[in-house]
Chain A
Amino acid sequence: MIFFLQLLVSGLAVGSVYGLVALGFVLIFKATDVFNFAQGDLLAVGAYLMFVALAVFNLPVALAIIATVVAAGILGAMLQRVVFKPLQGQPLLTVVMATIALSLIIQGALVIIFGSQDLSFPRTLPSSIVAIGALRLSMLDLIIMGCSVVCVSAFALFFRYTSLGLQMRATAEHPEAAALSGINSDRVFTVAFSIGTVTAALGGIFLGSLQVVSPTLSQIGLLAFPAVVVGGLTSIPGSVIGGLLIGVLQQLSAGYFDGAVASVVVYSGLLLVLLLRPQGLLGRPSVQRH
Chain B
Amino acid sequence: MAAIDAPATALLSVSNIEVAYGRSAPALRGVSLRLREGEVVSLLGANGAGKTTLIRSISGLLKLHSAKVLSGQVNLDGARIDGVAAHHIARKGLSQVPEGRMIFANLTVAEHLQIGALSAPVEKHEMSRRLVLDLFPALRPRIDDQAGWLSGGEQQMVAIGRALMASPRLMLLDEVSLGLAPIITRSIFEQLDRYRRETGCAMLVVEQNAKLALDFCDRAYVLDRGRILLEGSAADLKADPRVQDLYLGEAPGEGSAYTFRDAKRYRRRTRWLK
A176–B64 CA distance with the chains assembled, in angstroms = 8
Closest partner residue, chain B, to A173 (CB atom): B104
Tell me how many residue pairs across A and B have CB atoms closer than 8 Å: 87
A133–B116 CA distance with the chains assembled, in angstroms = 57
- Interface 9-mer from A9-17, A59-67, A162-170: A162-170
Taking CB atoms, residues of chain B closer than 8 Å to A287 are 105-106, 146, 148-149
A288 within 8 A of B: yes
Contact indicator B118/A289 (Cβ below 8 Å): no
Closest partner residue, chain B, to A184 (CB atom): B87
Contact indicator B106/A180 (Cβ below 8 Å): no
- Interface 9-mer from B21-29, B90-98, B211-219: B90-98
Contact indicator A183/B148 (Cβ below 8 Å): no
B119 within 8 A of A: yes
A183–B107 CA distance with the chains assembled, in angstroms = 15
Q: Shortest CB–CB separation between residue B122 and chain A, in angstroms?
A: 11
Taking CB atoms, residues of chain A closer than 8 Å to B148 are 286-289
Once A179-B64, A181-B119 are accepted as A-B contacts, the answer to whether A170 and B91 lie under 8 Å apart by CB is no
Q: Shortest CB–CB separation between residue B132 and chain A, in angstroms?
A: 14
- A-to-B contact residues, CB < 8 Å: 89, 163, 166-167, 169-170, 173-185, 284, 286-289
User: Which are the 6 A-B pairs with shortest beta-carbon distances?
Assistant: A287-B148, A182-B119, A177-B102, A182-B90, A179-B86, A173-B104
Q: List 20 A-B contacts (CB under 8 A).
A: A166-B107, A166-B115, A167-B115, A169-B107, A170-B104, A173-B106, A174-B102, A176-B64, A177-B104, A179-B64, A180-B95, A180-B98, A181-B162, A182-B87, A182-B90, A185-B87, A284-B106, A286-B148, A287-B148, A288-B148
* With A176-B86, A181-B118 already in contact, 20 other A-B pairs whose C-beta atoms are closer than 8 Å: A163-B118, A166-B114, A169-B104, A170-B104, A176-B98, A177-B98, A177-B102, A178-B115, A180-B61, A180-B96, A180-B98, A180-B102, A183-B115, A183-B118, A185-B87, A284-B106, A286-B105, A286-B148, A287-B148, A289-B150
